[in-house]
């Protein structure tokens, strides 16, 4: 048989199978089963297994107090940062979508940078910029911002900024200008039109952006650990406890108890906040009652707009862009010293660096492929309600859970479960499961949104023309959603490469690239600033390459 003939009969088999109701149901049902068995239930069971150890925390009031303070800090910071991100990100998105300048495409790409750079490198970069003598502090003699909550806020603001901008740009591009034009013809000046017409219509996107920024801030571990100093938020507390346990300063029972305690509270309060924001948010009315004609008129036109744009760009450049890229300075400096040849030869600490890089990218690739295979049928079931409308809505909500659970809590509970049930499980497999859990929602959400955008008419037309379900998928749905699938894959890949907290929680011997950077910065592994700079710089450079690859491939299409 020729290859063509072989491919054709392979397709025929797939087609025949896809027509059978039983096969279709099995595929979708198994995707759901995989989701529950591999992703949703293990963390829950992990916590249940170690529940008894919580008593340890109640027995140590000082520890409990410390845990509660840390958790409280997490939520306060997350709320504040998310609100600030909205305030700064919306004008930025407005500028990108409404401005006629050619530079806006460039601005759009630049705004993505903190998202693509692995957070550990980002954390180090910010540390250098704000805190060390080589950064902005040199202008003030002595470090400008010391490690602690302010630095954490600056960090979280920076890495959530692109998320908010991306969501808002997508929403503004979809928004029908007709509404605003109508309000203008009725006499509303632009600022009033925005406040009373555009904002309420875009409110769901505001909420979605807020939730994403909030979840990210609660969850991030590696970079936060770098800039936290003595301050503790939830993830930092968990990290500190783990380190204390590794150093033999606390018992295993205390470690497990504290971890379960903090994780459970973090998870439960996150879920509650998430629910509250999701359900109360749409009911919240933005202030409309008053109209202040002269003030709002002034705010609408040329001078106000220009100064608003200047401020937006200023904030972006000074607080987000430059600090994120600052690590390029020592990296650049390293080029002129012996650091480069050492790095390239793999001597000293560089040996494990390259290994970790390899591990990170291999892991990213594996997780992306697995995520695609397990997530695709799930996305279809949700988008096309294959398992019934109410079940699909429930799945849609459940899929969000790994997103809002802090990654270190997720990692810890996962390791409790798997190590208890399968003590001989290889660490690599554990790592894959952890990363799969964390990245799964990204894939499923972006793919299901893309599938929903394909009009059902199109699939029905194909079926009336004689195409079996598998053909419909491969010849109609897939070509029309390939950009979203690709950008979803790249998002998953970069997220996996960046992930620190869960990695640290789950494995002891394997080190991914961000873990190595954190070790170097914290001094667990001695490295001088040039080496750290170069190490972080290489990571950043590779991320840029991926970003440009993404831009090249999607070329503005598939902004999902």
Partner 1 sequence: MPEVRLVNLTKKFGNITALENINLQIHDKEYFSLLGPSGCGKTTLLRLIAGLIEPTSGEIYIENRRVDKIPPEDREIGFVFQTFALFPHMTVWENVLYGPTVKNFNLRKAKTIGDEVLEMVKLHERLGAYPAELSGGMMQRTAVARALAAGAKTLLLDEPLGQLDAKVRNEIRYEIRKMAKDLGLTAIHVTHDQSEAMSISDRIAVIKKGKVVQVGTPQELYMNPQSLFVAHFIGESNFVEGFITSTEGEDLEIELRGGSKVHAICKGPSMGERIILAIRPEVFTIDRGFIQKDNSLSGKVEKVTFEGTFIRYVIRLKNQDFVVTIKPSLAEAWMDVGSEVTVSFAPEKTHIFPYPQAGLMEEISV
Residues within the interface to partner 1 (CB under 8 A): 8, 12, 19, 455, 457-458, 460-468, 471, 475-476, 479-480
Residue identified by tokens 């903190």 is: 114
Of the two residues 485 and 506, which places its CB atom closer to partner 1 in the complex? Answer: 485
**Whole-angstrom distance, CA of residue 193 vs CA of residue 429:** 54
**Whole-angstrom distance, CA of residue 295 vs CA of residue 86:** 23
**Whole-angstrom distance, CA of residue 31 vs CA of residue 377:** 6
Residue 8's alpha-carbon distances to 15, 24, 169, 463, 490, in angstroms, are 10, 21, 42, 19, 31
**Whole-angstrom distance, CA of residue 363 vs CA of residue 408:** 18
Of the two residues 4 and 102, which places its CB atom closer to partner 1 in the complex? Answer: 4
> Cβ of residue 470: shortest distance to partner 1, in angstroms?
11
Of the two residues 12 and 252, which places its CB atom closer to partner 1 in the complex? Answer: 12
> Cβ of residue 159: shortest distance to partner 1, in angstroms?
36
**Whole-angstrom distance, CA of residue 86 vs CA of residue 207:** 9
Both structure tokens of 339: 């650091």
Of the two residues 345 and 475, which places its CB atom closer to partner 1 in the complex? Answer: 475
> Cβ of residue 457: shortest distance to partner 1, in angstroms?
4
> Cβ of residue 392: shortest distance to partner 1, in angstroms?
17
> Cβ of residue 252: shortest distance to partner 1, in angstroms?
56
**Whole-angstrom distance, CA of residue 294 vs CA of residue 296:** 6
Please check whether residue 159 is in contact with residue 119, taking contact to mean a CB–CB distance below 8 angstroms. Answer: yes
Residues present in the chain in total: 560
Of the two residues 296 and 459, which places its CB atom closer to partner 1 in the complex? Answer: 459
Residue identified by tokens 């003595």 is: 230
**Whole-angstrom distance, CA of residue 474 vs CA of residue 507:** 39
Of the two residues 178 and 457, which places its CB atom closer to partner 1 in the complex? Answer: 457
Count of C-beta atoms within a 10 Å radius of residue 274? 19
Of the two residues 190 and 469, which places its CB atom closer to partner 1 in the complex? Answer: 469
Of the two residues 437 and 481, which places its CB atom closer to partner 1 in the complex? Answer: 481
> Cβ of residue 455: shortest distance to partner 1, in angstroms?
7
> Cβ of residue 551: shortest distance to partner 1, in angstroms?
21
Residue 162's alpha-carbon distances to 85, 169, 239, 542, 546, in angstroms, are 9, 10, 26, 18, 16
> Cβ of residue 7: shortest distance to partner 1, in angstroms?
13
């Amino acid at each position: 048989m020729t290859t063509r003939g072989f491919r054709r009969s392979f397709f025929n088999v797939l087609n025949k199978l896809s027509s059978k109701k039983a096969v279709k149901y099995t595929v979708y049902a198994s995707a759901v089963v995989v989701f529950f068995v591999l992703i949703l239930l293990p963390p829950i069971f992990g916590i249940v297994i170690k529940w008894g150890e919580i008593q340890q925390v109640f027995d140590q009031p000082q520890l409990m107090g410390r845990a509660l303070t840390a958790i409280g800090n997490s939520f306060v910071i997350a709320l504040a940062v998310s609100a600030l991100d909205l305030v700064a990100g919306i004008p930025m998105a407005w500028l990108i979508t409404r401005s006629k300048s050619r530079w806006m495409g460039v601005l759009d790409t630049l705004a993505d940078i903190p998202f693509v750079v692995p957070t550990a490198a980002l954390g180090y970069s910010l540390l250098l910029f704000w805190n060390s003598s080589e950064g902005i502090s040199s202008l003030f003699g002595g470090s400008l911002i010391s490690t602690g909550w302010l630095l954490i806020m600056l960090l979280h603001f920076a890495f959530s900024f692109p998320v908010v901008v991306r969501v808002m740009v997508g929403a503004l591009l979809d928004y029908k200008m007709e509404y605003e034009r109508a309000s203008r013809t009725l006499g509303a000046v632009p600022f009033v039109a925005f406040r009373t017409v555009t904002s309420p219509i875009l409110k769901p996107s505001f909420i979605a952006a807020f939730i994403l920024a909030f979840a990210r801030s609660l969850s991030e571990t590696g970079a936060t650990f770098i800039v936290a100093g003595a301050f503790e938020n939830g993830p930092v507390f968990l990290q500190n406890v783990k380190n204390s346990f590794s150093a033999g300063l606390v018992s295993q029972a205390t470690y497990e108890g504290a971890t379960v305690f903090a994780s459970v509270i973090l998870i439960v309060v996150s879920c509650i906040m998430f629910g509250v924001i999701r359900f109360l948010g749409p009911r919240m009315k933005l202030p409309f009652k008053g109209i202040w004609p002269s003030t709002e008129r002034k705010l609408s036109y040329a001078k106000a707009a220009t100064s608003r744009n200047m401020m937006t760009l200023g904030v972006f450049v000074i607080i987000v862009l430059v600090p994120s890229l600052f690590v390029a300075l020592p990296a650049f400096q390293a080029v002129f010293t012996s650091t480069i040849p050492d790095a390239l030869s793999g001597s000293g600490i560089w040996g494990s660096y390259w290994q970790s890089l390899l591990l990170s990218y291999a892991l990213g690739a594996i997780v992306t492929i697995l995520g695609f295979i397990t997530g695709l049928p799930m996305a279809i079931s949700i988008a096309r309600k294959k398992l019934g409308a109410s079940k699909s809505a429930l799945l849609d909500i459940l899929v969000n859970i790994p997103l809002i659970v802090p990654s270190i809590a997720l990692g810890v509970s996962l390791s409790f479960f798997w190590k208890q049930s399968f003590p001989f499980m290889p660490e690599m497999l554990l790592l894959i499961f952890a990363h799969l859990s964390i990245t799964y929602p990204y894939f499923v959400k972006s793919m299901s949104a893309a599938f929903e955008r394909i009009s059902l008419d199109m699939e029905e037309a194909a079926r009336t023309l004689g195409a079996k379900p598998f053909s419909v998928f491969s010849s109609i749905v897939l070509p029309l959603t390939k950009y979203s699938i690709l950008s979803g894959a790249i998002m998953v890949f970069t997220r996996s490469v960046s992930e620190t907290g869960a990695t640290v929680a789950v494995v002891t011997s394997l080190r991914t690239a961000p873990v190595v950077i954190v070790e170097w910065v914290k001094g667990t592994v001695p490295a001088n600033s040039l080496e750290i700079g170069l190490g972080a710089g290489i990571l950043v450079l590779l991320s840029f390459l991926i970003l440009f690859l993404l831009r090249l491939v999607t070329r503005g299409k598939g902004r999902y």
